[in-house]
């Protein structure tokens, strides 16, 4: 699996990452969602650079222009709730893409141990498509792996791009062990070293779903 950390280079992405981490700015949920959406747009632009392109003749009012465009068949998938703003940002750039949504949550047992439960998945076939799977946080990596397996159960994507703005070292290691190495790329904006006993990323940013959409029951 190829790993690309866009946060290692200076760009406006780092401003957006800093703002979603900032506990004061986080109090404005609309700004938090907008920043995640802008982060999704940055990742979409970077992913667009590695797609296949071909020449296309376009009729203008004054003649014919030869343009290089991509006609890749793209499927954008996200893990609800936290992945939705990132999904919207990616969709702003790949506006002809098909879409998939997966509902996943942590079910806690004793001693802060939990399992990931997939309750809902809606997806067209991923067969021979470019799959972009987005979630705001990559903590343990379990949600991403289960979501990938769910929507790729009976089909194989042409290539896979995982978009996780903030990731943990443990989560990246888990993906490396449980996802196909070939034609899989993980795109991140920052990598944090620590997970708490409850598997929250430190310094991370807190609960992205709650920050974006309000505290759940």
pLDDT digits (tens, 9 = 90+) for 7-29: 999 999 999 999 999 999 999 99
Structural domain count, the chain: 1
Range of the domain at 177: 2-213
Q: What CA–CA distance (Å, rounded) separates 38 from 73?
A: 23
Q: What is the full per-residue pLDDT of the chain (217 aa) written as tens digits? A: 999 999 999 999 999 999 999 999 999 999 999 999 999 999 999 999 999 999 999 999 999 999 999 999 999 999 998 999 999 999 999 999 999 999 987 777 777 777 888 888 999 999 999 999 999 999 999 999 999 999 998 899 999 999 999 999 999 999 999 999 899 999 999 999 999 888 889 999 999 999 999 987 7
pLDDT digits (tens, 9 = 90+) for 174-190: 999 999 989 999 999 99
DSSP string, 56-119: EEEEETTEEEEEEE----EEEEEEETTTHHHHHHHHHHSTT-EEEEEEEEEEE-GGG-EEEEEE
Comparing CA positions, the residue from 87, 91, 57, 159 lying closest to residue 148 is: 159
CATH number for the domain harbouring residue 103: 3.40.50.2020
């Amino acid at each position: 699996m190829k790993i690309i950390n866009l946060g290692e280079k200076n760009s406006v992405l780092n401003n957006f990452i800093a703002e979603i981490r900032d506990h004061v700015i986080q109090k404005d949920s609309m700004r938090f969602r907008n920043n995640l959406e802008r982060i999704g747009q940055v990742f979409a632009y970077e992913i667009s650079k590695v797609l296949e392109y071909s020449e296309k003749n376009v009729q203008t009012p004054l003649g014919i222009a030869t343009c290089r465009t991509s006609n890749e068949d793209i499927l954008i998938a996200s893990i609800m709730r936290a992945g939705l703003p990132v999904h919207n940002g990616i969709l702003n750039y790949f506006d002809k893409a098909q879409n998939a949504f997966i509902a996943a949550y942590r079910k806690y047992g004793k001693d802060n141990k939990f399992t990931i439960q997939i309750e809902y998945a809606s997806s067209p076939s991923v067969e021979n498509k470019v799959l972009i799977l987005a979630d705001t946080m990559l903590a343990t990596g379990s949600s991403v792996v289960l979501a990938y397996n769910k929507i790729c159960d009976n089909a194989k994507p042409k290539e896979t791009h995982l978009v996780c703005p903030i990731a943990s070292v443990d989560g990246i290691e888990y993906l490396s062990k449980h996802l196909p190495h070939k034609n899989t790329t993980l795109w991140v904006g920052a990598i944090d070293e620590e997970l708490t006993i409850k598997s929250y990323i430190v310094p991370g940013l807190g609960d992205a779903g709650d920050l974006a959409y309000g505290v759940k029951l």
